[in-house]
Chain A
C-alpha cells in the first residue's frame, strides 16, 4: 500500500507525516513537487501535509494548487483514491477545487479571528491543542473511516488561516446535509461553542475538516500526525502517563489504511 506524501517548496510536516503513514503499516514516500506527475498514478493514496508551501505567497495554497502534480492528484481523486490534506494541505485542496469537491473554488480559509463575547481577542497565527468532534458517520470519509460519530479527538492546530468562509449560498447547509462536515472544534465534553477558545479560529460553524461528496478527499486544519503517540500529548492529558500508547491522531492514518483495504 503505497502512499505519496506530497512535498512542495515550503512544506514542513512531511517527515512526521511519513512516520505516521509508515507506523500504521502503509508504505510512505515523500514526493517532491517537480518529479514527473505521471508517477503519482502508482500510489494508492496521498497526503498533502502541512507547512507553508511557497511561503503562503498570494495566499495560502494558491501557488501550489497550480503545480502539475495537483492536476495529477485531481485525476487520482476521480479514481476514488484517498487524499488527505492537513493544514496547508487542506488550504491547497481548497484552492484546487478538490474541496468541498465541486471542482471550483467554493470557499476560502481566511485569517483566524478569535472572538469571545463579541470582542476580537486576537487574530492570526495560533498554536494549541484543541478538541475535535467527529461529526460524520463512520465509513463516510477516508480519513475518518474508523472513527465513530461524536468521537472526540485531541489534536493540535498551528495555523494563521483556518477560518472557513464562503459566499456560495447554502454551501454550509449542503455540507452538513451531505455529511461532509467531518470535524468540528468542540469543548472537552463534545459541545460545539461558536466562541473562542472553543472555536479556536472563528471558522463558520466551528468547522475544522470537510470531505468531498464521495468521501475520499478529506481536508482538516488540525495535525493528526502530531498527536500520533501518547507521549506527544500535552501535560494535562492523563493519557500521557502511558507514553507508548497510540495517540488520538493515529485513527486518521489507520482510517486511511482501512479505507484503501476496503476499496481494494
Chain B
C-alpha cells in the first residue's frame, strides 16, 4: 500500500531566540511598530512528504535527525498545519530552489536511508504577537517590510487551521 502523507515538524528554540529578538528590536526601534507589536517568536518548519511507511514512526526518526533536543522543542502535525491562538503566524519560504531543503532531503534519503522521502520543504514561521486592530494588515506590512525579499521569498499569513497546499 502506498499512501502519500506530509509530516510537518514545527521546531522552536528552548533557549532565547536571538534572531527573533533582533527582529522584534528592529520592528519596534527602527520601523515604528512599537504600538502594535508585543513580541516576536520564531519556528522552523519542515514539511516532509513521504510516499510510504508509518508516519508516526517516521516522524519520530526525522525529529531525531532534525531537531536538536538540547536546545529545541518540536511538535508534529500530520497532513495539516495549525497554530495556536494569540499570534499571527507568518510563514516565509523561498520561492527559488531551497538548497537547504534539498540537502536535508538528500541527507534523509541517501545518508540515513529513508528512501520513502519524496520531498522536503523548509520554512520559517514568524509568530507575531500583535495588539490592536487590523492585525492581518500589520502582519502583512511587517512581512513585506522586513521578513521577506520578494525576489527570493514568498510569505503566507497562516490561518488558525490550514490544510496542506
Interface pair A168/B149, CB less than 8 Å apart: no
Interface residues on A, range: 20 to 34
Across the interface, do A58 and B152 meet the contact criterion of CB distance under 8 Å?
no
Write out the residue numbers on chain A whose beta carbons fall within 8 Å of the beta carbon of B99.
111, 113, 120, 123-124
A110 and B152 within 8 A (CB): yes
Give, as a whole number of angstroms, the nearest-CB distance from A149 to chain B: 28
Check A168 against B151 for contact (C-beta < 8 Å): yes
A-binding segment of B23-31, B51-59, B76-84: B23-31
CA distance A120 to B30 in the complex (A): 39
Residue A178 is within 8 A (CB to CB) of chain B in the complex: no
State how many residues of chain B have any CB contact under 8 Å with chain A. 21
A75 within 8 A of B: no
Contacts A108-B152, A113-B99, A123-B103 given: A54-B30 contact, CB under 8 Å? Answer: no
What are the residues of chain A within 8 A of B31 when measuring CB–CB?
66
A106 within 8 A of B: yes
A74 touches B (CB below 8 Å): no
Smallest CB separation, B91 vs chain A (Å): 14
Bound-state Cα–Cα, A10 to B146, Å: 19
- Is there contact, CB below 8 Å, between A110 and B96? yes
Does A158 sit within 8 A of B, measured CB to CB? no
A-B CB pair tally, cutoff 8 Å: 57
Q: Give residues 30-59 of A contacting B (CB, 8 Å).
A: 54-55, 57-59
Interface check B159, CB cutoff 8 A? no
Task: Indicate if A137 sits at the interface (CB-CB under 8 A).
Answer: no
Contact A113 B97, beta carbon cutoff 8 Å: yes
Q: Which residues of A contact B72 (CB under 8 A)?
A: none
**Would you give the 0/1 interface string for A97-109, flagging 1 where the beta carbon is closer than 8 Å to chain B?**
0000000011110
Q: Is the CB of B23 within 8 A of A58?
A: yes
Given the contacts A57-B23, A58-B19, A111-B99, A95 and B149 also touching, CB distance less than 8 Å: yes
Q: What are 11 A-to-B residue pairs whose CB atoms are below 8 Å?
A: A58-B23, A62-B146, A105-B150, A106-B151, A107-B151, A108-B149, A108-B152, A120-B99, A123-B100, A165-B96, A168-B151
Given contacts A57-B18, A123-B99, 16 further A-B contacts (CB under 8 A): A55-B19, A55-B22, A57-B22, A57-B23, A58-B19, A63-B22, A63-B23, A105-B151, A108-B149, A108-B152, A110-B94, A111-B99, A120-B102, A165-B152, A166-B151, A167-B150
**Top 6 A-B residue pairs of the complex, sorted by shortest distance between their CB atoms:** A108-B151, A123-B99, A108-B152, A66-B30, A108-B149, A57-B19
